[in-house]
Structure 1
Amino acid sequence: MHIKSIIIEGFKSYAQRTEINGFDPLFNAITGLNGSGKSNILDSICFLLGISNLTQVRASNLQDLVYKNGQAGITKATVSITFDNSNKSQSPLGFETHDEITITRQVVIGGRNKYLINGVNANNTRVQDLFCSVGLNVNNPHFLIMQGRITKVLNMKPPEILAMIEEAAGTRMYECKKISAQKTIEKKEAKLKEIQTILDEEITPTMQKLKEERSSYLEYQKLMREIQHLSRLYVAWLFVCAEETKLKSAEDLKVMQDNITQMQACMAENESKVQELTAQIQELQKKRDQEVCGVLKSLEEALSEVQRVDAKAQSALDMKKQNLKDETKKRKELVKSMEEDKKMLVVKEKEVSKLMEQLQAVQEDGQKESSALEAAEQHFRAVSAGLSTNEDGEEATLAGQMMACKNDMSKADTEAKQAQMTLKHAQAELKTKQAEVKKMDSGYKKDQDAFQAVRSSREKLQAELAKLNYEGEESLLDKRRQLSREVSQLKETYESLMSRFPNLRFDYKDPERGWDRSRVKGLLANLITVNDVSYATGLEVVAGGRLYNIVVDTEVTGKKLLEKGELKRRYTIIPLNKISARTLNQNVVATAKSLVGENNVHTALSLVGYEADLRKAMEYVFGSTLVCDTLDNAKKVAFDKRVMTKTVTLGGDIFDPQGTLSGGARSQSASVLSSLQELREVRDNLNNKEAQLQETERQLASLKGTAEKYRQLKQQYELKVEEEQILQTKLQQSSFHQQQEELERLRKAIEESEETLRNTKDVQKRAEEKYKVLENKMKNAEAEREKELKAAQQKLNAAKAKADAFNKKLKEKQQESDAVALELEELRREQATYEQQIQAVDEAMKSIQEQIDSMACTVSQNKHLINISVTFFLLSFFFQVSRMLEEHDWIQLERHLFGQPNTAYDFKANSPREAGQRLKKLEETTTKLERNVNKRAMNMLNEAEERYNDLMKKKRIVENDKSKILQTIEELDQKKNEALNMAWQKVNKDFGSIFSTLLPGANARLAPPQGCGVLEGLEFKVALGNTWKENLTELSGGQRSLVALSLILAMLLFKPAPIYILDEVDAALDLSHTQNIGQMLRTHFRHSQFVVVSLKDGMFTNANVLFKTKFVDGMSTVTRSL
């Protein structure tokens, strides 16, 4: 089988359809300039053979194989090769009848591959199988020697060269399969270990446990059968006893009723007979109780216990009522005493107040007298020391006072002279300035008049602006801007809060024109307020999904809303006129509060605020639930027999007497009701701000007419203000104005100087008069001193006497005040004591009243229980027989056997009492066993045993397969070594022969490295003449290339293929070696077709057919030369 012709169209550089005919069956050469497309012919052959590694055809994807990647209008690449199949010994399997085989492969851009075999569609696998059957495996192409293959062989290490021999011998695939099998064995080994682990750790312990449980279950079944037998015996005996007792009780009851009637008739005269009959009744009851196995006795004991509890509760109630009466009387006495003490306290407080005022007055007088006494003592000491009192009240000597007078006179004289000088200077300058001012008075007066006229106009405009009140409009504009900002911020806050709870948003369209929106009350969550946020979570749990129900006035409104309101989601409607609600009884609430405390439990309805007309809806949602503060209190209240009401804790845990308990970790986010408070505050604030904004807009609209007038007046006013400022500045900067200011300054200086002169004259006059008086005193100093000393002594004595009298009076008043204050403090303490006692009595009365209420409720319930117990006591015998017949349908069928000898119900052979005791023990035993017995143990054990047997079977299969695989591997290893040795010898022989042909006088062989065997690797050994080289580095580059090429060709000879493709294998050789290659191919490969690409004459001169490629107008062309 060899290539006969090739047709290429749209493949790489061959844009147009190119037919290459006339291939020689043995040696074909292709030559041409670089880039002319000669290697593309080889790529087209590989492409048709179905190559999957596109790098060997120098492409990254299939699109690269199309001419210019499909950008030149050519969108598909097609290669068609016709093979000569006349040699039937090399024919592919299934094609022996065909002399020619035409195979076509086509790839379309964006499409798929298409194969044709003799014009018939085929898949990739079928094409590869066809070529593999003749030794052309394109994905392991030993028949393809591309550029660089020689260099790669030269760089191979001994194990890699050995791998080439293995590949040629066909043992390489076995080695791969062997490695894969060993990995599979390792996986299976791991699986075996896993199976063993499962057996040891899971299945075996489980089977052991199930066997034990099976034993327990069999024992349990045995006990159940015995219980069934004993139960029937015991129930039959009870039925017989009950039936007999029923008949006897009816007769006894009738007799007792007759006796009671007779006794009531003659009770007054026959008391002893009543006692006798009572004793007889008790004896009959005792006998009857014995006959029904204590059933009646238990009922009597229950009735007696209830009566005893009732009597105890009644006694406690009477005692509490008496305690309450005593506490009430005690409180009245305490209140009376406290009122009397209050009156006395008021009197004493007035008396103390009066005494305190008197004491304060005496203390003030005493302070005055003390001050007078101190002043008298000081004056006496000063006079004794020779001092006298000056005008300031200070003590000083006469000489000192005279010296001070002289200093004052001197100082006043100096100040008078300075003031006189200043006065003369100011008066002279004033006259000069006044003359200058008169000259410039006319110009300034004109400016002054203009300034006054402008000011008058400005004031007039200012008055007109004030009348317009436009400043109010400006303040309104500022207010509107501020309110707009606040409204925008509140809307954002409101929308943000609403986005967190979208279920709180309820919008609808009016169902009809003129719709009254007050008929729809809104979302229930928006209609309630929670005063205490701590209850929010509990109330939210109480309401549940009803929190998002819609409240309307009637069912008609609800129907219209659902049909035409265009609601955005499903809602539940609560019509106020139809909803029926259930609320808790006040006695139940009072009992709950008595159990856990007044402030620890509340009705859910009392914790929410709402409008009065919404009461029925609120009762429907919150009316039947209690809210407790803790889990323990909620549990205590919910399951108490007197309450038995659904209870919720503050954290949202639910206790339901019907058997439901829910709770656990709650969401950490805020509850809806707690967030609703914030949402409601924001909404109210938003509504308030929007109302303010509307009012501001209305006021602005009313002031809009004055705006234009105000702007005109404002413009005129600003002009006048500016003109006034300019004139004022001009006046202030004028010389006349400055002169006027200077004149004013001089006038003030003159006035100040004249005032100073007057003051200094007065000072001099007073100092001279005082000096004369002191001078006279100085002359009569001794007499004056005696006189002053005597007067000071008298004054001192009088002050002492007066101070002593006041101190005595003050002490008396102080003692009197202290006594009254003590009495007042004592009264206040008594008052506080009375208040504490009254408070304690009130608390005690409140506690007693609560206990009385609770006990009254208990007494009422006990009386009810007594009535029920008596009724049940009378009817129990009649119902017992009927109940047993209903519960045990087998009684009716086997009733005739009860008590009969030699039957299962022989009461003499089998003691019913012992059977009852044995039955009780067995029931206790089975109750304990039921907790642990596994009723599915039998089935589970069977399943476990099946699983165990299945695993053991699989384990044995895996172990057998493992031993067979290991045995096969051992046998194949031996055959592989034999095949490998044969291949080595054959390749070695051809290797030396080919190398001697390529390089005459030289020899080459493959030998294992020193100290190693053939199976460990092979390396090149080359001899030039008779000298064997140690390694290839001693050879030239061309010689090394010949060594590698010789090995490759020797490998080809070992397992010949019908076609060989060589791509520029002579690139590194000189011309003489190239000619030798051509000769070698002709002599050694007589049964294979070679397609060789070369640029050297030495190669293609030996070829039978030569094809030349050219590159014309951007496309490759091919011509045949020989």
Structure 2
Amino acid sequence: MEYIYNHENLILRYLVYIKKLEIYGFKSFGFKNTVLHLNNGLVAVTGPNGSGKSNILDAIMFALGENSPKLLRVDKFQSLFHDSENSSHRLVRVNLSFDNSDRGIPIDIDTVSMSREMEGETGESQYYLNGKKVSKNTMLELLEIIVAVPSKLNIVQQGMITRISELNSEERRKIIEDIVGLSYFDDKKSESIKQLDESDRRLEVALARMDEIKKRINELEAERNDQLRYTFIESQLKKFKAIKYSNKIRYLKSEIDNRSKLLGTNESNLNALSKTRDELRKEIEEIEQEKSSFMSRVDASNKLKAQIDTKLTNVIYQIEREKAVTKEAQLRMTSLEERLTFIQSEGRKIEIELENSSKVLLDKKSITEKKQSHLAQLKNDLETLNIRIDEISGHVDRNRKLMDRLFQKKSRLVEISSRLNILIARFEEQKKFYINKINENNPTIEIMKRSLNDKEAKLRDSAMHMCYSELDTEKKLINDLRNKSEIYSNEIHLYKNTVNKVQKFAMPYEEKYSVAVQLSNEDFAIADLIKDSQDFKILGMVRDLIKYDDVYKKAVFAAAKDWMKCCIVPTVNEMIRLASYIKEKNLPCLKIISSELLSSLIKEHIVLKDHDFIGKLADLVQSSIPNLVDFIFGNVLVVRNSKTAYDLSNQGYKCVTISGELFEPYASSLSLEFGSKISDLTHEIILNESIGSLLENSHILSTYLANKKAELEKIIKDISNKELRIRGLETLVTEKRITVNHLNEVTASLKNEIDNLEAMNRNLSGEITAIDTELTKNKKRDNIVSSSLVNNSKNIQYIVNDKIDKELSELTYKKNEILRKIENREIELREIITSTTSLENGINAAGERKNEILSEKESLEAEQIERRGQKQIAGQKLEQLEKELICLREEEQKIIDVSGDSYSILQNYEKQIKTLDDKERYLDKEINGIEKESIAIKKDISNFTVQESQAMNDLMWLGFKELLEGEISDVDILILELTKEYDELKTRLNLLAHETYVQVIDGYRDMSTRKNYLENERNSIVLFINEIDIEKKDVFMDAFKKVDDDIRKTFSEIAGGSAYLQIENEDIFSGGLSYLVQFQGKPPRESTSLSGGEKTMAATVFLLALQSLKPSPFYLMDEVDAHLDAQNTERLSKIMVERSSGSQILMVTLKESTVAKATQIFGIYSKSGQSQMVHYKNPDNVPLAQIKTSE
């Protein structure tokens, strides 16, 4: 970078720019190498429409790595190739050469070349840096350092200005966010919000759980309290009830005693009172007669006296009325005098207060005037400081912008230096590692070669054929022995199974035969006869010749169990012959029946009418032998139950129940059959001889089996010996084979290892050479970057040492001090004004109160005069009424004197009669009362006795045998309230409440600890999110201020009007940015509501301001002035010239005023379907019309 200082501003000039552009086969440029030599500053590209001038900018974008067909203005990537019929020339190559004198690109050469090639066959792109093939990412990293990647705002294509002009407020905000990279903050915030949501969910679960536990605690606490209260109330109720019953019993006892004493006293008094009443009645009759005679004489004088009494009453009433009026007037006059005295004292106090308040008010007004004059002086000083601050703030802002650019450059250089240092350290470490590896490999190779020779010698000495032949012979012998062993094993297994089956089969028969021998019953005879059954013409056994229903099985067995093994023969002769044979053979007992004798059997018919009688048993059993069932069962009756069987047996019948109970006639005996079986060992006896023969043969087979086992054991022993021999031979062979294989593997491995190590050494030597080259190159680049950092730091230090910042800080401090003083003075002034207003209000209120007191005083004085007149009038009337009262009293006294004696006599009679009547009535009342009281006392005594007994029983039921002492009042009320509470608690009582309460409280404490931890975690996340928002807002506001300042300055210079950005909402990121523009002579309007040319001008200024956020060494602009009129084009071109002093601007334009201001002009025209170019240097800014075109 190069810095030029002109005493007013420090201009930053980037020296990295596009020095040369080479195009081959790209779009309208044919298959020839088109070269553009470009200078720094404003470069204009012009020409007729369709000539291909915009393709120059597309070629630069292509070389910088752009892969979007839309941005390269083609429908597909293949359209980038020049239209030519010769497919062998389908190649696109664009080369950019950058001037790198300031080492902005961290490569230690003055010119850096970046190329991109694309072949038509594959469509793949190759990237080259200084002629060396590199990856696209490597090239983009270098471009990122100088802010020249194609995706930034340094490339302005056709239509981009229009799109910017149509941006709404929110899109303007988002484009600034994208430039300064606020998405980083959004990502951090999104992740933090996710963590916050998880924390909130965990906290919500914890709080919900705590609420549930708390609710449960409240419930349990209430239940626990109810449980404790219930127990307490239960004990208290018993106690209070016992006290109540004790008090009641004591009270009842005392009442019974009192009532008994009172009853005795009443009886004695009743007798005395009855005698006295009789004497009084006689005396009353005598006095009544004397009174009647005297009354007739007194009636005449009483009429006159009644008239005088009426007049006296009226006069006395009027006198009392006038006295009341006089007294009321006197009291009101006293009250009025007291109120007047109080009003006069209050009036004097108000006058003193008004005088003092007026003096204080005058003092405060004078202080207010002084404060206002001092405040005006401070505001004048503040205005002077603001003017001075405004004068130097412009210079400070320029220094700050320059510092921002220098720090951006320094950060990029530091990053590049760090990468280079890491790369150099990595290369040196690799080189050191490779050298050590080679030094380690060389002695290893020598050792491996010596070991290889030894292994090959051992391999030649090994012999395997003798061991293999001996092993094969032994294997053949052991196979023969194994075949023979298998044959023997099969035979032994077969014989062994046969012996086991014989023994298993014969054992049950032997056991049954032994049982039959022990019994020695008819089964032996039956078995012997069955062998010769045809000779004796035996028809069968009874058990085999009869049939019956299973329901009657027990009855049949009970009635004919002894006949079941009886033999049936056809004739009597056969029966005798069979008996002789049994006797001759000395066989056990046997029963024999001749069917010939059965034919003469007489059947007996029995008819019984009984519900439990089933029938004759012979009718329920069937047989093929005629009369056999009648012979065996003919006289047996079948009934349902034992009771019926017993009754019929007593009548001489033989009866059996269906459950197997057999009753002999006349109940002589009873036998029971509950499911026994008939033993049949005949078959076992017959098979006894065959079983014996079978057992004898099995013993012979067992002997043969033992001999075979001995031979098999000998063969197995031979096999074991052979196997040991074979295992020894196999071990020997295996060891030799392993040894040989190991030798072969080790030999091959050693050869491979030697080859690999030698190849590794060769590769490592080549890598060391390459690393040395890279180290030299990177160290040179590091030196260049370090020198750039030193220069950059010097420039930063120069700006830091500028005293203008110090002056601005001092002025700002003074300004803050003045503002603080102004604020303090204003606060004091407001306080004085407030107190002054309060004093004025107090003075006004005191004046009003004074007027009220004066008016009240006047009304009180008038009322005082009125009350004094009322008092005088009432006094005069009172004197007249008292004179009239004296006259009436004198007349009344005369009448009294005349009739005084008669009245006294009459009064004496009345008094005597009344006295006697009172005594009589009193005696009657006393007698009646005593009689009633006696009846009530007797009833009370009876009731109290019953109540005492009941109360004593209740006391003992409560568990108290003696009376309790207690002086508690209102025991009944306490018992009533406690009983009510007791019944209420009983309905909701939980006897496990206390135990459960303790457990739940412990769980709540644990959950509370968990909740506190989750709240702290959530608060830390919220704090982190707030810090992210603050940092994001600060970064955005810095960028916003920078863009807004640039818009204000640039628009004022271009259009002479004003334009600025305005934040719509207090919450910056929930709204957008309004872009307000005011051209000269027009009102301010939003940029989207401007006319076409004005909208283009406003959008261009906004674009230039956005570019100032991250300055680029070069800019590509495609017809950005297309929609501007001549005046606005002229203004825009001036701004472009100014901006080109710090950056290279390559601008495609058709406007003559813009071309005239360019330092270099390229004219593009079409010829034979290819773009052609002319070049003109224009250092003197000659108008386009005066330039002669030459190819």
Q: Same fold (TM over 0.5)?
A: no
Structure 1 length-normalised TM: 0.32
Larger Rg belongs to: 2
Structure 2 length-normalised TM: 0.31
